[in-house]
């Protein structure tokens, strides 16, 4: 259903700012030698999902950054979330 509201007119500047924020974050991480963090790998892996023309980008990106394990852990070792699945310990 076509809309009479132009979403680019309404939200382009906000989306542009978010993209610039992400780019500046990645630059800072790189400058500080921390680009090998597993969370950065997860962000980079999500970028093709963002650029895809397939529908449901948000769902696919959220799932790629979520813990896929079906069972809860026995006890939390700390409070909070990491924002991306941790790689298995070797």
Q: What is the pLDDT of residues 67-78, one digit of tens each?
A: 888 888 788 777
- Top pLDDT among 2 and 45 is at 45
The percent of residues in the chain predicted with pLDDT above 70, rounded, is 94
φ, ψ of residue 50 in degrees (nearest 5): -65, -40
Runs of H (alpha helix) within the chain:
7-31, 38-51, 57-64
> pLDDT at residue 12 above 80?
yes
pLDDT at 1: 60
Q: What angle do CA 7, 13, 11 make, to 5 degrees?
A: 20
Residue 34 is classified by DSSP as -
């Amino acid at each position: 259903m076509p809309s009479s509201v132009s979403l680019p007119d309404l939200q382009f500047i906000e989306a542009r700012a978010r993209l610039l924020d992400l780019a500046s974050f990645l630059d800072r991480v790189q400058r500080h030698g921390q680009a090998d963090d597993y969370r950065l790998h997860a962000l980079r892996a999500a970028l093709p999902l963002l650029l895809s023309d397939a529908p449901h980008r948000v769902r696919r990106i959220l799932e790629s950054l979520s813990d896929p394990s079906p069972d809860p852990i026995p006890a939390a070792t700390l409070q909070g979330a990491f924002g991306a699945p941790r790689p298995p310990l070797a």
